[in-house]
Amino acid sequence: MNNNELQNMVESISNRYFNEPFRHNALFNNKLRTTGGRYMLDSHNIEINPKQYQYYGKNALIDIIKHELCHYHLHLGGKGYKHKDSEFKILSKQVGAPRFCAPIQSYEARANYLYKCQSCGYKYLRIRKVDVRKMRCGICNGKLSLIEHLT
């Protein structure tokens, strides 16, 4: 699928589910890594992570587009467009837009650090580095130590 086909898909989904036209640009953005798509507040464009389409197919892409169109139409309508806003939650439910998309990689695959509790031995995988002077074990409140930097 290319950007022109994506643009046509976004326009048709907007008309079908929201009864309003999509008047801006929809495009794939290869730089997106942790999100399925995003609505740009300044330009009103929608960017989609192409890996979501490659991994999960057309149905996942439609769900992401519906989610981003909720942001789009509510923002342009001057209503609550953020995830926490009740208007966003109501519209998402009406059109069947999911709150999150499926991750491309599991948490374990994305983890960069391995920590171990010095007291009970429980091991923790973390994506971001943890300050072991502040963070404690969630099981026994023991001290954590960095075992391995995985990347």
44 assigned ligand-binding residue: no
- Give 43-63 pLDDT, tens digit per residue: 999 999 999 899 889 999 999
Q: Give me the residues of the chain with pLDDT under 70, please.
A: none
20-51 pLDDT, tens digit per residue, is 999 999 999 999 887 899 999 999 999 999 99
Half-sphere exposure of 38 (CA within 13 A, CB side): 11
Structure tokens at 25: 């640009």
The pLDDT score that the predictor gives to residue 149 is 87
By annotation, the residues acting in catalysis are 68
Report which residue type is found at 102: A
71 among annotated binding-site residues? yes
C-alpha count within 13 angstroms, C-beta hemisphere, residue 3? 10
Nearest by Cα to 10 from 54, 50, 67: 67
Element spanning 45, H or E: none
78-97 core/surface letters (b: 16 or more CB in 10 A; e: else) = eebbeeeeeebeebbeebeb
Strand extents, DSSP E, the chain? 26-28, 37-39, 46-48, 113-117, 123-126, 144-149
Give the pLDDT of residue 73. Answer: 96
